[in-house]
Amino acid sequence: MSNTLYDFGMIGLGTMGRNLLLNLADHGFSVIGFDKDISKGATLEAAATAGTTVKGVSTLAEMVQQLKRPRKMMMLVPAGSVVDSVIEDLLPLLEKGDIVIDGGNSHFTDTLRRITYLQDKGIHFMGIGVSGGEQGARTGPSIMPGGDIAAWKEMKPLLEAVSAKVNDEPCVAYMGKGAAGHYVKMVHNGIEYAIMQLISEVYDILKYHVGLSNDELHTVFKTWNEGELQSFLIEITAEIFLKEDDLTKNRLVDMIYDKAGSKGTGKWTSQDAMNLPVSIPTIDAAVAMRTLSGFKDERTAAAALYKPTIKTITEGKEKIIQLAHDALYCAIIISYAQGLSMLHKASSELQMDIPLKDVVRIWRGGCIIRSSLLEIFTAAYKRDAMLANILLNKKVAAIVKKKQGNLRKFIQKSIAVKIPVTALSTALGYFDAYCRERMPTNLIQAQRDLFGAHTYQRTDKEGTFHTEW
Ligand code: 3PG
């Protein structure tokens, strides 16, 4: 065993773990990694930049023993029981004061349980959200740490060094108490689900109703990415339309089976929104549509039964493309609004003290939902750190006021041509309801009181009332 003591250790050398470690090494930190698959240690060393200090080992003990104190290590392993079993394997090797980070997509309640379990043993356990995919991990992700303040202070220089930078500012900040890091990452993914669903709905119209070719779709999305819709997801969508399939020479996107996978973070966002409660219908719709995509056999049978015909237009393409642009922009703002309002509520409800101004600031770079909109949101939270909903900000309101008419028109058009725009519709529905001082829920209260004596409140005086209907 060498005498070098390493700055940081990684458990799990899959692409994310390896890339994050190589990124740390490129920033001058000495790093060591362990994976059960011993070939991955060699792959790690082979990928290291010349002159950096990178070591792969084949046992957990070798890794832990060669770390500087207090030892700092992260696991990037599949969420769930694997995290617990790594913790159990680590425990006999750790000392009081060591820092163990879970950098995966763990459910925040698991993270809370693990924090308490390890606190009793003197170990600092942190849940950290990392977003940016494989490339982001290598070149600069957005990093969402939460929990133990002392551990955050120890980790800060390392995390700041490897994170993405926007105007030289690192895309990492303390996200709050307890499991706030994993919570913020969960909601980030919920927003990601919503935006992806919205883009797919717009694609549906542009491809099957407007009849755009993949080359034309590429041009539309590329142009959009150069304007107010500028974002990572729009950028990669433009690229996708150009990719050729090696097997058939068709465009790859047309050869991909239409069943969407998911690893659970979108569903967790919806589930916890219901628990809080807070209303995030566009994220809910995105989860529901991924689920429905899995019912391929039933959809095929229903298509044969109902025979929906989708007409392709010959004129007025440019107009629909403009409507699509505004509809997408407006619905994306509303999706961020839902996710951020969830964080606002969770911050107090779950005692996490999530600094929303920092959340939007560190999402500006590195992460999957980075977009030019985050600059506008950062300015909004700078003005009012306790803003309950981004739709209440005057600048955001000015944009939404301008675009909502086209969102409405685009939805009307889509419904008329039988192309489902479930997420777009929920965005508009949420917005319209949010802007109503008086909702029709007085009637629901009357019904509840009539059949269940559930009582109601009155508009003209304080108190709780029941009527014998
Ligand atoms: C991830 O965390 O890998 C993605 O951001 C979300 O993954 P999913 O779409 O598989 O749930």
The C-alpha atoms of residue 244 and residue 242 are separated, in whole angstroms, by 6
Ligand 1 pocket check for 195: Cβ under 6 Å: no
pLDDT band at 268 (very low <50, low <70, confident <90, very high): very high
Question: Starting from the edge strand earliest in sequence, which strands make up the sheet with 8-11, in order?
Answer: 54-57, 31-34, 8-11, 72-75, 99-102, 124-131, 142-145
The domain defined by 8-174 carries CATH number 3.60.15.10: no
Q: How far from 345 is each of 148, 314, 357, 393, CA to CA, in Å?
A: 21, 47, 14, 17
Average pLDDT on 371-377 reads 98
Residues forming the active site: 185, 192
CA of 211 to the centre of ligand 1 (A): 30
Contact 75, 83 (CB under 8 A): yes
Atom index in ligand 1 nearest the CA of residue 185 equals 2
pLDDT band at 1 (very low <50, low <70, confident <90, very high): low
> What is the per-residue pLDDT for 311?
85
CB-neighbour burial class of residue 13 (10 A; exposed 0-12, middle 13-18, buried 19+): buried
Domain with CATH 3.40.50.720 in the chain: 8-174
pLDDT band at 2 (very low <50, low <70, confident <90, very high): low
pLDDT digits (tens, 9 = 90+) for 217-262: 999 999 999 999 999 999 999 999 999 999 999 999 999 999 999 9
Q: Is the pLDDT of residue 79 over 80?
A: yes
pLDDT band at 13 (very low <50, low <70, confident <90, very high): very high
Ligand 1 pocket check for 189: Cβ under 6 Å: yes
Average pLDDT, the chain: 97
Nearest CA to ligand 1 atom 9: 262
Ligand 1 pocket check for 425: Cβ under 6 Å: no
pLDDT digits (tens, 9 = 90+) for 164-174: 999 999 999 99
Domain with CATH 1.20.5.320 in the chain: 441-469
Atom index in ligand 1 nearest the CA of residue 368 equals 5
Domain with CATH 1.10.1040.10 in the chain: 185-434
CA of 31 to the centre of ligand 1 (A): 26
> What is the per-residue pLDDT for 4?
72
Ligand 1 pocket check for 192: Cβ under 6 Å: yes
Nearest CA to ligand 1 atom 5: 189
* CATH superfamily name and code, 441-469: 6-Phosphogluconate Dehydrogenase, domain 3 (1.20.5.320)
Whole-model pTM over 0.95: yes
Ligand 1 pocket check for 371: Cβ under 6 Å: no
The domain defined by 185-434 carries CATH number 1.10.1040.10: yes
pLDDT band at 89 (very low <50, low <70, confident <90, very high): very high
pLDDT digits (tens, 9 = 90+) for 119-152: 999 999 999 999 999 999 999 999 999 999 999 9
Ligand 1 pocket check for 263: Cβ under 6 Å: yes
Q: Is the pLDDT of residue 211 over 90?
A: yes
Pocket test for ligand 1, best of 263, 269, 290, 367 (most atoms within 8 A of CB): 263
